[in-house]
Amino acid sequence: MTDDHQLARELADLAGERLLAVRAELHEAGIEGRELKDAGDIASQEVLADALRERVPDDAVLSEEATDDHERLSSQRVWIIDPLDGTREFSEVPRDDWAVHVALWQDGELVAGAVALPARGVTYGTDASGRAGIPARPDGDPPLRLAVSRSRPPAFAEELGRTMGATTVPMGSAGVKAMSVVDGSSDAYVHAGGQYEWDSAAPVAVAAAYGLHTSRVDGSPLVYNKENPWSPDLVVCRPEVAESLLAALATMDLG
Ligand SMILES: Nc1ncnc2c1ncn2[C@@H]1O[C@H](COP(=O)(O)O)[C@@H](OP(=O)(O)O)[C@H]1O
Ligand SMILES: [Mg+2]
């Protein structure tokens, strides 16, 4: 029998395959920009909605690409999905910094999840096969590498540069940024100024399974399946940098 961890991975992979096919086909036909973004959003939503209906018909769903019917608020199990995170980057062929997010919330907690990076051929999950652990930091206490949005770099990144000597690594997609901490190509992903629960649920579930620190920027826990799915801010970072990073963030106006 497939467990929830495996199911999250299977669904993310299924949607990822569909996205790669749609992207290749439309790019070949000269279709770009908004049309390509919309085609990706719609195709991936369709794959995920159909698969969830078939595999877990009694569970509720919160998706970026579907109407929120609030049935989820009285459900014990809610799949929180972003069929295409980094839509902008998806439309900029051949960029590979876009993702599929599939998370499961149950009784107040994120309990399973997967983040597929289809254009890189890799999927990170909360299942055992995905928990190899995070690579060690290079010796000699190198500067903190902060994953930031490439299209809306946050003002506080500059201040973290001054106070902590942090450098920035710009990239698209919340999932890609969180997974860059998992794969060791950055040390932290900090976001303020708002997002929605689907942008961070699967990345946070996976990051936590790999032993990373995940919280709001004030250190309090991230909460999912709220009535209003707005999610103001988050920190995903290596556990050994959490204390100093949160202390530095506490002194800043994050806007
Ligand atoms: N201020 C904001 N308000 C709403 N969504 C935001 C946001 N900043 C980032 N996001 C969402 O977070 C995801 C990652 O953004 P970024 O690459 O800039 O870090 C994107 O998701 P989508 O691509 O699913 O829309 C983006 O829309
Ligand atoms: Mg998103």
Ligand 1, atom nearest to 148 Cα: 19
> Cα(84) to centroid of ligand 2, in Å?
6
> Which whole number is the average pLDDT over 66-93?
97
Ligand 1, atom nearest to 85 Cα: 24
How far is CA 147 from its chain centroid? 12
AA identity, residue 105: W
> Cα(173) to centroid of ligand 1, in Å?
7
Q: In terms of domains, do 97 and 155 share one?
A: no
Domain assignment present for residue 122? The answer is yes
132 vs 57, higher pLDDT:
57
Annotated binding site for Mg(2+): 64, 82, 84-85, 199
Nearest to 20 by CA among 125, 124, 99: 99
> Cα(196) to centroid of ligand 1, in Å?
8
- The encoded tokens of residue 213 equal 């620190």
- Domain of residue 238: give its range: 145-250
pTM beyond 0.90: yes
Q: In terms of domains, do 149 and 108 share one?
A: no
- The encoded tokens of residue 28 equal 């070949």
Q: Are 188 and 241 in contact (CB under 8 A)?
A: yes
Q: In terms of domains, do 125 and 19 share one?
A: yes
| Domain end residue (candidates: 130, 156, 180) | 130
Q: What is the ipTM, given to two decimal places?
A: 0.98
Q: In terms of domains, do 229 and 157 share one?
A: yes
pLDDT bin (cut points 50, 70, 90) of residue 130 is low
Q: In terms of domains, do 171 and 245 share one?
A: yes
Q: In terms of domains, do 98 and 125 share one?
A: yes
Strand partners, 189: 147, 236
Q: In terms of domains, do 162 and 219 share one?
A: yes
Ligand 1, atom nearest to 177 Cα: 19
Q: Are 181 and 188 in contact (CB under 8 A)?
A: yes
- The encoded tokens of residue 29 equal 């036909």
Q: In terms of domains, do 82 and 193 share one?
A: no
> Cα(172) to centroid of ligand 1, in Å?
9
In this structure, the residues whose C-beta lies within 6 A of any atom of ligand 1 are 64, 82, 85-87, 149, 151-152, 172-174, 193-195, 199
pLDDT of res. 1: 60
